[in-house]
Structure 1
């Protein structure tokens, strides 16, 4: 009798190169929130929005350092969801994993619709819904083909964003210094004009933090992608160290030049967006076309990253027995194909709801994501606090450490709790906060009531890959 051969196990492949991961960590998740959404933030806090971006950037930097500590100790496609399950309890990993997936499958259609609207404005004969459909089909196909395809698309998308923001900063710097030949504008007078640096008070600065935090959300994608690279620990270390430069250059520097050139109460700021308005003041030719191209690339890139991130989180949930077993299936080219398809289908449903019931149901669904970013950051901080204590008690301290532990970790927990409390009592943010709480509470109850089927064994992601 011929001996039975063991089937070669399928697992996520190391298809991302160092070049791709580096570029993704630098600019992969920068979407329309910076190029368009920043105008709302500036209108909220005035020039003092710089403080909001700096505070938010500091918070994200500390959270990424904590996440980096855990990810280097144990790289996993489930990232903070896996760590929450280990450090806090299975219910926490289940809840935050599904919340994160929920967030991205709602953001995917938002980005697709934004890109479709730009293309429709260029080619009015083609309906916007068809462009959205084509964008989603194209990007889901690249994600299904191989992780290398995702990485290559994302590399070039991110490179365009890096070059565009760098060029914008150079042009604005010339304008502020008086060396830009197409305009007579110079100086930073707008920083103190129209009511001063903080025209709406410090409360508006805190409100600005709530607006800007969603521009930063997604930095954690590198800890999810790192498992599909060679030497993931080194990639995570480098990406975590790059966060401070990305925040300082792409966010703080670009916003500084915008509020230096554009009046915070300029009516056109909300009409055309902050980047386009700054270029208009500098008389840059074809400012709208250039910004539209960059925004199209940015939203497509963000959607591409969102689909990748949602599928990997869904795969990780399935591998841990917290989602349907079909979600842990991996194709021959090392892609969690079922998770990609299901995440794409959820995105298609979001697009359909938006076009079938404009301004109604989809807006309601989107409101449920209002506080998810803060909940994710809070869970990361609590997980790091508990995992670090366990590691040090066992005599195996992490090689990549959070600064000033545990004081900075407690500081982050206190700040996020304070901001969530402010959102709950603030009339402007209460509805979104309550909607997020309802969704989170529903998922939490499902996690607590979830029962493991008799006779089955739930495997963690790593063990599943070994035994599949």
Structure 2
């Protein structure tokens, strides 16, 4: 087979390809920069209020569950290095209908991250005296004012301009901001543990676990899972990686390990630095009413005003860097779905900088619209976490199906104990979805239905002779799965009627998840169809061949 023109070529074909310009460090910092965002600035306070010192257990539980999902993504990203991979892996295994569902959820989640990171920045800015007195970017309940909405729009416009200028600029800026975003939290940990660490806080306010296991689980969607999201961003940009087979898996694993260690240290430092007098009765208000910048408040309280100043500066850098990367990821997802003809074809248009310009502009517009129904950081976290859980759930089931139907393909990285960890990963994703709460879950179900309306309208605009089959049989498991999870949430303990007994609700989620997983694997497309889909996409993306193989 003739190898297609390289992505950087000047051929007619190459002119439509993304530019492969990002190496290992760029990919790793893209994932790490996505993980370290507003979650570290605001997540510790939110989770401590819900779970008390047992929020440490929440971080360990979430990191363990997400590590399995990250490793599944690492194998898929190295094996199928295609732009917008989270949308395309299920497409390879189950066809366009499942691929669209996964891609739509991935896109919804990614396109909402940029506005949520901007809102986090404004939450910290509002704690600066002269900003609060003269501009007033937030209402007392944490929602955006008119001035705040204007400033938020300026941030979104800056993200858009940087993304349009090219992936090399994006990677360079993100690498610098990722270093800063890692250094400042580490400095915060050292200073708080040195100047003010009260070991008694870990048993204060009702004990280590004042709200029991329920508090530990409820803290997961309130900020813990959200904070650890982002490892897959290197995979979204795999179409622009210089050596994706070698670098994708390493970038994801390293970023996840660094991010997890950092968040655990931050939670320990946060709890230890609190004023013990504020915890004598409960954890309801550990740092002051209406305080949306807890670390800066703690730094000031322990006499490190200079650190508070650094934190206010980092409150712009950390969320902004994450929002910048997620806009890029959202654009690659809509670009990927445009290539699959499940979203309008103009979304695949690539500009002079070899980036998907129309998709970037769409991410800007939708992000702006999101400020209206979700005008605060807290309002968006639950919905984003629920969407992320669905997005992540597609990876382990697609991995299992592709190992069965496409097992002969070279896999530079393999998930250890794949037959066990793949279904476990699907279970973990569904548990996170359940813990996100019924309120977020049913809204996500409505968003999924809206996506299928978009799909139907897109297909109506394609001549009948050019429409590919949707592979409806391979998608038979998707709606029973999503509908079943929403139904379990309706009767569960997290925003539902609580009709399901304690612990039995978790058993039901686990058993249901395993049944869906193995059913889905049996419904996957046959090997020849999987191979044809992968080959078509690889040729279109000019994927470099694996070492020692012919193309």
Q: CA deviation at 1:227?
A: 2.5
User: Structure 1-normalised TM-score?
Assistant: 0.85
- 2: distance between equivalents of 1:316 and 1:417? 25
Offset, 1:431:
1.3
* Deviation for aligned residue 1:422: 4.9
TM superposition shift of 1:298: 1.4
Match of 2:463 in 1: 453
Label 1:290 to 1:78 Cα distance change in 2 as closer, same or farther (>3 A): same
Return the alpha-carbon distance in structure 2 between the equivalents of residues 167 and 422 of structure 1: 32
Partner residue in 2 for 1:375: 390
Question: 2:205: which partner in 1?
Answer: 194
The aligned counterpart of 1:165 is 185
Higher relative contact order by CA 8 Å / sep ≥ 6: 1 or 2? Answer: 1
CA pair 22-108 structure 1, distance change in 2 beyond 3 A: closer
Q: Quote the offset at 1:149 in angstroms.
A: 1.2
Unaligned runs of at least 5 residues, structure 2: 1-9, 137-146, 469-532, 543-551
The 2-side partners of 1:172 and 1:406 are apart by 43
CA distance in 2, matches of 1:156, 1:448: 42
Find the counterpart in structure 2 of residue 390 from structure 1: 405
Does the C-alpha gap of structure 1 residues 136 and 435 become closer, same or farther in structure 2, counting only changes over 3 Å? same
Match of residue 364, structure 2, among 344, 363, 379: 344
Deviations along 1:153-184, one digit per CA (max 9) or x if unpaired, are: 21122111111011112223323xxxxxxxxx
Asked if structure 1 preserves the Cα contact closer than 8 Å seen for 2:21 and 2:168, the reply is yes
Shift, 1:141, TM fit: 0.8
Asked if 1:405 corresponds to 2:405, the answer is no
On the 8 A contact 2:228/2:260 being kept in 1, the answer is no
Q: 1:111 is matched with which residue?
A: 117
- The separation in 2 between residues aligned to 1:242 and 1:422, in whole angstroms, is 27
User: Hey, what does 2:14 align to over in structure 1?
Assistant: 9
Whether 1:436 aligns to 2:444 is: yes
The aligned runs of 1:29-108 (5 Å cut-off) are 29-108=35-114
| Match status 1:208 vs 2:216 | no
Counterparts in 2 of 1:6 and 1:132: CA distance versus 1, 3 Å: closer
Tell me how many residue pairs correspond in the alignment: 441
SS of 1:323's equivalent?
Answer: coil
Determine if the alignment matches structure 1 residue 284 to structure 2 residue 304.
yes
- Which residue among 321, 327, 335 is the counterpart of 1:315? 335
What displacement does 1:206 show?
0.8
Matches of 2:432 and 2:121, distance apart in 1: 32
Deviations 1:18-63 (A, max 9, x none): 4322322333332212211321111100111111111111111111
Superposed displacement of residue 281, structure 1: 4.3
Alignment match, 1:180 = none
CA contact (8 A) 1:316 1:461 kept: no
Instruction: Deviation per CA, 1:299-332: give whole Å up to 9, x if none.
Output: 2112101110111111111111111111111112
Specify the SS of the correspondent of 2:230: coil
Q: For the residues of structure 1 that align with 2:363 and 2:256, how far apart are their CA atoms?
A: 31
Contact 2:36/2:227 (8 A) holds in 1: yes
Deviation sequence 1:85-129 (CA, Å, 0-9, x none): 111332111012122222232332232344356557555359333
- Once residues 198 and 397 of structure 1 are traced to their aligned partners in structure 2, the CA distance between those partners, rounded to angstroms, is 47
Instruction: Tell me if the contact between 2:84 and 2:332 (Cα under 8 Å) persists in the aligned partners.
Output: yes
Q: So what's the TM-score if we normalise by structure 2?
A: 0.73
1:182 aligned partner: none
How far apart are the structure 2 equivalents of 1:165 and 1:6? 46
SS of the equivalent of 2:464 reads coil
**Relative to 1, partners in 2 of residues 1:445 and 1:136: Cα closer, same or farther, differing over 3 Å?**
closer
Are residues 367 and 72 of structure 1, via their aligned partners in 2, closer, same or farther at CA, if it must alter by over 3 Å?
A: closer
Task: Report how far residue 186 of structure 1 moved.
Answer: 4.1
CA distance in 2, matches of 1:149, 1:340: 15
Please name the residue that 1:178 is paired with: none
Q: Aligned residue for 1:138?
A: 158
What is the CA distance between 1:7 and its match in structure 2?
2.6
Aligned residue number for residue 245 of structure 1:
257
Query: What is the SS of the residue equivalent to 2:414?
Result: coil
Which whole-Å deviations, capped at 9, do the CAs of 1:121-160 have from their partners, x for residues lacking one?
5553593333222222222111101111111221122111
For the Cα contact (< 8 Å) 2:62–2:220, is it kept in 1? Answer: yes
**Aligned to 1:250, what secondary structure does the other structure show?**
helix
Distance 1:269 1:461 in 2: 53
2:490 matched residue in structure 1? none
- 1:221 maps to 233
Q: Quick check: 1:98–1:443 contact (8 Å CA) kept in 2?
A: yes
> Any conservation in 2 of the 1:27–1:158 contact (CA below 8 Å)?
yes
Q: 1:410 to 1:317 in 2, by over 3 A?
A: same
Of 245, 262, 272 in structure 2, the residue corresponding to residue 260 of structure 1 is 272
Structure 2 SS opposite 1:37: helix
Residues 7 and 287 (structure 1), Cα distance of their counterparts in 2 relative to 1, 3 Å cut: closer
CA RMSD of aligned residues (A): 2.9
Kindly provide the CA deviation profile for residues 201-236 of structure 1, in whole angstroms up to 9, marking residues without a partner as x: 111101112221111122110111232121112221
Q: Would you say the 8 A contact 2:343–2:454 is kept in 1?
A: no
Residue 208 to residue 125, structure 1, CA distance change in 2 (3 Å): closer
